[in-house]
C-alpha cells in the first residue's frame, strides 16, 4: 500500500512568488514600453488657420437690351474696363434733326462688398464727318441733360449744356454695396442748330468711377 506524501508548503509558496514576480515584470515592461513610445512621436494640430480678403468696390452697368458691363470684365486683378457696347447718347442709327432728341437709361450698381462715392467724368468731345469746310461743330451744338434716381440727386434737365461743356458729375455721395441708381441721358439738337453741323458725328467718352 502506497502512502500519499503531503505537499511541501514551501514549494507551493515558491510557485506563487514566482508567478507574482513574472506578472510584476510583465507589467513593468508594459509600463516602460508605453512611456518610451510617447517619446518617439509627438503630434500637435493647429485646427484654426484663417485669412480674409479685403473689401472691394465693383461697378456694374446695365444698358438697353440688358447689355451688362462690369469693372472686372478685364479679368485678373484689374478693376477697370472699357465698355464699348453701351452707347449712352443713343448712337447714330437715327440721325437727329433740329428739335430732335433721344434718351438712354443705364443702371449703375455697386456689386462689391463695401460702399463708395459714384462719379461721372465726361471726356473731350470729338467731331467727325460732315463738311470739311464746316464752320460749326456738333460738339458745341448738341445738348445733354442727366437725371439719376435715388440715392442720387442729380437732375440737370433745367440746365442743359452742349457736349463740349459737359462737366464732372458727383452722381451719388455714397453708393452702398448692393445699391444702384438709374441714370438717363438725353441728347438733343436744338431747333436753332446750324446746317453747318449736318452729317457730323459727336463722340465723347464717359468715365464712371466708384470709390
Which pLDDT score, from 0 to 100, does residue 192 have? 97
| Per-residue pLDDT, 169 | 98
Quick: pLDDT tens for 156-202: 999 999 999 999 999 999 999 999 999 999 999 999 999 999 999 99
For residue 38, the model assigns a pLDDT of: 81
The torsion defined by the Cα of 11, 17, 23 and 27, in degrees rounded to 10, comes to: -160
pTM of structure: 0.80
The single residue listed with the C-alpha cell 434718351 is: 103
With contact defined as beta carbons under 8 Å apart, do 202 and 143 qualify?
A: no
Which residues in the chain come in under a pLDDT of 70? 1-37
pLDDT tens-place string over residues 145-159: 999 999 999 999 999
- DSSP secondary structure of 21-89: HHHHHHHHHHHHHHHHHTTS------------PPP---EEEE-GGG-EEETTTT-TT-------S--TT
The whole-number pLDDT of residue 66 equals 97
Amino acid at each position: 500500500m502506497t502512502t500519499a506524501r503531503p505537499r511541501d508548503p514551501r514549494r507551493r509558496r515558491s510557485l506563487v512568488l514566482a508567478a507574482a514576480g513574472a506578472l510584476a515584470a510583465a507589467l513593468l515592461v508594459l509600463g516602460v514600453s508605453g512611456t518610451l513610445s510617447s517619446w518617439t512621436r509627438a503630434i500637435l494640430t493647429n485646427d484654426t488657420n484663417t485669412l480674409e480678403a479685403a473689401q472691394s468696390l465693383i461697378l456694374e452697368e446695365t444698358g438697353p437690351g440688358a447689355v451688362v458691363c462690369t469693372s472686372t470684365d478685364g479679368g485678373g486683378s484689374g478693376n477697370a474696363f472699357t465698355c464699348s457696347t453701351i452707347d449712352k447718347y443713343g448712337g447714330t442709327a437715327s440721325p437727329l434733326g433740329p428739335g430732335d432728341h433721344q434718351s438712354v437709361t443705364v443702371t449703375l450698381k455697386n456689386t462689391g462688398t463695401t460702399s463708395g462715392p459714384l462719379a461721372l467724368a465726361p471726356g473731350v468731345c470729338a467731331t467727325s464727318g460732315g463738311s470739311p469746310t464746316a464752320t460749326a461743330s456738333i460738339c458745341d451744338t448738341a445738348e445733354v441733360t442727366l437725371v439719376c434716381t435715388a440715392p442720387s440727386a442729380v437732375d440737370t434737365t433745367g440746365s442743359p449744356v452742349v457736349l463740349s461743356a459737359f462737366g464732372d458729375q458727383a452722381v451719388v455721395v455714397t453708393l452702398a454695396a448692393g445699391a444702384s441708381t438709374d441714370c438717363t441721358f438725353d441728347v438733343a439738337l436744338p431747333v436753332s442748330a446750324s446746317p453747318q453741323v449736318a452729317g457730323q458725328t459727336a463722340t465723347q467718352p464717359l468715365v464712371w468711377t466708384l470709390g
